């Protein structure tokens, strides 16, 4: 019952999470705590990102650490912050991250959840003051508690996600997430240090007139893919490509559009990662009424074979994704 769940704009994220939990009398509150842990880490990462232009003058600015060590890169800092928050929170047994080849065991063997995270996506945009993001997926472990999480826990299909979200560090910082009951967006108020509900029950426009793809690679697209791009141009669509997945996705989610990272000759399975980039956004877009596939199969039903698997991504407004799939079907 969605109405029971409706909370007014301006509700803080913490209160929102708490009130949602009250709607599920048997919930233990662990997932709620986990989401709050992620939001806390996001605030810390946001602070680091806002200062990032000062890193090169860190010495003069007095920000060098006591050992006089070099500042670490922001994606490394973000990785450390999120892992630390999830470890301290206690609900997560195992994490997979874009920054780490192997699974990360938190030591919380009683933790019921596993998290897949890209701590800072689009990191080539940091130095030039362009929006970047954090992307996360949450799964319930399938192995028994009391031991470390397993690869099987970390390689579930996207349909098993219990929650997913992203943080966009843009002109405002926002956290957008779903627990399978629609999608809600919260905007950060830095002077108060709080996220406030600003975008309740986000719905993806059924169609749109924006396509987002790196056309610099179009010589290496398949014929079917090139055909779809030609179709977008015939329709008079606008091209918008930031090169920062969260930012491109977020714009298209709110305004309507399609984001594509196709297979190319160089990257036959595309570039983006199934477990901590594609599945999370697929869950969100579907909860908002949109669609996500690899051009043929629903993203959330793809079987992961490795922690860092890649897959092509066609995501956004339902009608646009379906039209792209019509073109892609000619390829198979």
> Residue 271 binds which entry of Mg ion, ligand AHM, none, with Cβ cut-offs from 5 to 8 Å by kind?
ligand AHM
298 exposure class (CB count in 10 Å sphere: 0-12, 13-18, 19+): middle
Between CA 167 and CA 69 the distance in angstroms is: 29
CB neighbourhood size of 301 (10 A): 12
The residue among 103 and 272 lying less far from Mg ion, judged by its C-beta, is 272
65 is in an annotated binding site: no
124 is in an annotated binding site: yes
Between CA 89 and CA 95 the distance in angstroms is: 13
Q: How far is the CB of 272 from Mg ion (least distance, A)?
A: 7
122 is in an annotated binding site: yes
217 is in an annotated binding site: no
Choices 70-78, 114-122, 236-244, 256-264 (CB under 5 A): range interacting with Mg ion: 114-122
The CB-nearest residue to Mg ion is 121
Between CA 134 and CA 170 the distance in angstroms is: 12
Q: How far is the CB of 270 from Mg ion (least distance, A)?
A: 12
Contacting positions for ligand AHM (CB under 6 A): 98, 121-123, 214, 243-245, 271
Cα atoms in the Cβ-side hemisphere of radius 13 Å centred on 272: 32
Check binding of 248 to Mg ion (CB under 5 A).
no
CB-CB contact of 304 with 201 (8 Å): no
The residue among 245 and 253 lying less far from ligand AHM, judged by its C-beta, is 245
Check binding of 99 to Mg ion (CB under 5 A).
no
Check binding of 75 to Mg ion (CB under 5 A).
no
CB-CB contact of 281 with 292 (8 Å): yes
The residue among 13 and 260 lying less far from ligand AHM, judged by its C-beta, is 260
Furthest CA-CA distance within the chain: 61
Q: How far is the CB of 145 from ligand AHM (least distance, A)?
A: 32
Tell me which DSSP letter residue 160 carries.
G
Coil vs helix vs strand at 96: strand
123 is in an annotated binding site: yes
214 is in an annotated binding site: yes
Please select the residue that binds Mg ion; options are 37, 75, 118, 248, rule is CB under 5 A: 118
The two three-digit tokens of residue 164, written as one number:
């997913």
Between CA 251 and CA 255 the distance in angstroms is: 6
215 is in an annotated binding site: no
Extract the annotated binding site. Answer: 98, 118, 120-124, 214, 241, 271, 277
Extract the annotated binding site for Mg(2+). Answer: 98, 118, 120-121, 277
Chain residues in the site for Mg ion (CB under 5 A): 118, 121
């Amino acid at each position: 019952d969605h109405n029971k769940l409706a909370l007014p704009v301006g509700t803080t994220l913490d209160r929102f999470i708490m009130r949602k939990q009250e709607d599920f009398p048997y919930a233990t509150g662990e997932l709620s705590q986990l989401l709050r842990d992620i939001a806390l880490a996001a605030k810390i990462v946001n602070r680091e990102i806002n200062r990032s232009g000062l890193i090169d003058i860190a010495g003069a600015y007095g920000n060098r650490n006591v050992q006089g060590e070099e500042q670490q890169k922001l994606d490394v800092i973000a990785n450390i912050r999120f892992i630390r928050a999830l470890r301290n929170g206690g609900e997560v047994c195992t994490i997979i991250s874009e920054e780490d080849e192997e699974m990360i065991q938190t030591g919380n063997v009683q933790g019921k959840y596993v998290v897949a995270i890209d701590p800072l996506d689009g990191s080539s945009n940091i130095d030039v003051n362009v929006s970047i993001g954090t992307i996360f997926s949450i799964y319930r472990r399938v192995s028994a508690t009391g031991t470390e999480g397993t690869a099987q826990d970390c390689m579930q299909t996207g349909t098993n996600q219990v929650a997913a979200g992203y943080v966009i560090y843009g002109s405002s910082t926002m956290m957008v997430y779903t627990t399978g009951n629609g999608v809600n967006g919260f905007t950060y108020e830095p002077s108060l240090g709080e996220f406030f509900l600003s975008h309740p029950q986000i719905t993806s426009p059924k169609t749109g007139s924006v396509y987002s793809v790196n056309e610099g690679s179009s010589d290496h697209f398949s014929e079917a893919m090139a055909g779809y791009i030609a179709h977008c141009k015939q329709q008079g669509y606008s091209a918008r490509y930031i090169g920062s997945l969260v930012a491109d996705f977020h714009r298209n989610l709110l305004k309507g559009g399609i984001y594509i990272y196709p297979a190319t000759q160089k990257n036959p399975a595309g570039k983006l990662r199934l477990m901590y980039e594609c599945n999370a956004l697929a869950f969100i877009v579907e909860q908002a009424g949109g669609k996500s596939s690899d051009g043929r199969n629903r993203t959330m039903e793809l079987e992961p074979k490795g922690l860092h698997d890649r897959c092509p991504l066609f995501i956004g407004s339902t009608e646009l994704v379906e039209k792209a799939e019509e073109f892609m079907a000619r390829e198979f």
